[in-house]
């Protein structure tokens, strides 16, 4: 079978352990389905030229990531070689690509959402919002959701880019919506937690978020977990429509920008207090913390009982999920505010000096 045909089939069907969007799945749990070798080493780097704050997606053996250089890049996961690059309208900030049925979607800082052919990098359609996009696209069937700094959550046809509905909030929609049970959940900069029905854009859940929230919620068993700028991480029941616990480190209060990872009975999240926090999912009690030397805006990924996360101290850390013990770290030399993506036994993360790193066995 010819290589191009293999690539196209892989892109259409996907693989069991792909990481096709921000946080790995529509529930935003940050948990990988595949395994990662116990002993990591640097396999390759790619220099994008300008800062990478976008978190990578991995699908069909290709890494997709945005850069401040305005480029959406497609890079071979095995070799680190560039497959293609697509020029966006403006820089791609924190918006992370989503890949679905052979199409890559990403937003840019001019407020344009781009749909690009995954095989060759040809632009298919664009949709213009009224302000910058830092949210990442999420897909459910034939629908795509994306937030914008114009205050709207948009639902589009993923095939044509035509507007199906929009839901208006009273502030920026910075975070990425999490999908669960036919509802899109957003922890908003308007200090409100919203649940918006996918079918028609009607709000079916609303309660105070405890403060402005830039983080994306992790959804697990009808619970939502997210940090806010009131220096808290909260656990909320979407069924009861209220926050059930709040975690706040009294010794040093700093906002939480990182999006939480949720696995079993544990929640892991980075803090601007320079710590990585592990909490009990049902009580919010601290299980362990791990200290870095700078704020942690990177969102953790979990695979095989290990936590993978970057820090603005320029280090990429691997921690034991049970104890918080450091198992390995890599010094990148520049802040790592992007979040790791995990697929096919490899971990990929970008840095603010424009380098994309791939680790594996």
d(CA 38, CA 304): 9
The confidence band for 3, taking pLDDT boundaries of 50, 70 and 90, is very low
Residue 9's pLDDT is 39
Residue 251 predicted with pLDDT over 90: no
Q: What would the pLDDT profile of 167-198 be if each residue is shown by its tens digit?
A: 999 999 999 999 999 999 999 899 999 999 99
d(CA 357, CA 341): 11
Residue 39's pLDDT is 96
H helices of the chain, where?
3-13
d(CA 151, CA 167): 8
The confidence band for 17, taking pLDDT boundaries of 50, 70 and 90, is confident
Residue 73's pLDDT is 98
| Domain map (residue ranges) of the chain | 3-38+51-265
182-210 b/e (C-beta count within 10 Å ≥ 16 → b):
ebbbbbbbbbbbbbbbbeebeeebebebb
Q: What is the mean pLDDT of the segment spanning 221-242?
A: 97
**Residue 70 CB coordination number (10 Å):** 18
Point out the least confidently predicted range of 175-184, 248-257, 293-302.
248-257
Q: Structure tokens of 204? A: 């079916």
d(CA 60, CA 361): 19
Q: What percent of the chain has pLDDT over 90?
A: 94
Residue 14 predicted with pLDDT over 60: no
Q: What is the mean pLDDT of the segment spanning 117-125?
A: 98
Task: State the Cα torsion 27-30-35-39 to the nearest 10°.
Answer: 180
CATH 1.25.40.10 fits 3-38+51-265, yes or no: no
Q: What is the mean pLDDT of the segment spanning 146-172?
A: 98
Residue 263 predicted with pLDDT over 60: yes
Helices and strands (H and E) in the chain: how many: 1, 32
Q: Structure tokens of 360? A: 């594996």
Residue 5 predicted with pLDDT over 70: no
Q: What would the pLDDT profile of 98-115 be if each residue is shown by its tens digit?
A: 999 999 999 999 999 999
Q: Structure tokens of 192? A: 């409100």
The confidence band for 11, taking pLDDT boundaries of 50, 70 and 90, is very low
Q: What is the mean pLDDT of the segment spanning 116-136?
A: 98
Q: Structure tokens of 6? A: 């293999």
């Amino acid at each position: 079978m010819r290589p191009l045909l293999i690539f196209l089939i892989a892109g259409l069907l996907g693989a069991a352990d792909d990481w096709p969007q921000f946080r790995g799945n529509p529930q935003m749990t940050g948990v990988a389905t595949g395994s990662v070798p116990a002993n990591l080493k640097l396999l390759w780097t790619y220099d994008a030229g300008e800062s990478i704050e976008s978190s990578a997606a991995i699908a069909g053996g290709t890494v997709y990531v945005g850069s401040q250089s305005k480029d959406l890049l497609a890079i071979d996961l095995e070799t680190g070689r560039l497959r293609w690059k697509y020029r966006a309208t403006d820089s791609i900030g924190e918006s992370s690509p989503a890949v679905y049925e052979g199409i890559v979607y990403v937003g840019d800082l001019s407020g344009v959402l781009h749909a690009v052919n995954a095989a060759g990098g040809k632009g298919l359609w664009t949709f213009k919002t009224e302000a910058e996009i830092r949210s990442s696209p999420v897909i459910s069937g034939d629908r795509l959701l994306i937030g914008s700094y114009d205050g709207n959550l948009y639902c589009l046809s993923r095939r044509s880019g035509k507007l199906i509905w929009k839901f208006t909030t009273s502030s920026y929609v910075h975070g990425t919506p999490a999908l669960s049970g036919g509802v899109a959940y957003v922890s908003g900069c308007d200090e409100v937690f919203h649940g918006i029905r996918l079918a028609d854009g009607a709000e079916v859940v609303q309660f105070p978020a405890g403060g402005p929230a830039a983080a994306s919620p992790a959804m697990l068993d009808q619970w939502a977990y997210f940090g806010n700028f009131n220096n808290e991480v909260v656990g909320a029941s979407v069924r009861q429509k209220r926050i059930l616990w709040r975690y706040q480190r009294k010794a040093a209060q700093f906002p939480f920008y990182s999006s939480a990872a949720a696995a079993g009975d544990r929640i892991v999240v980075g803090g601007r207090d320079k710590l990585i926090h592990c909490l009990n999912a049902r009580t919010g009690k601290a299980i362990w913390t791990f200290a870095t030397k700078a704020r942690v805006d990177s969102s953790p990924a979990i695979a095989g009982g290990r936590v993978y996360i970057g820090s603005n101290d320029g280090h990429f850390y691997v921690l034991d999920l049970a104890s918080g013990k450091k198992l390995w770290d890599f010094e990148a030399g520049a802040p790592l505010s992007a979040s790791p993506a995990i697929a096919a036994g490899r971990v990929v993360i970008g840095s603010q000096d424009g380098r994309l790193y791939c680790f594996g066995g």
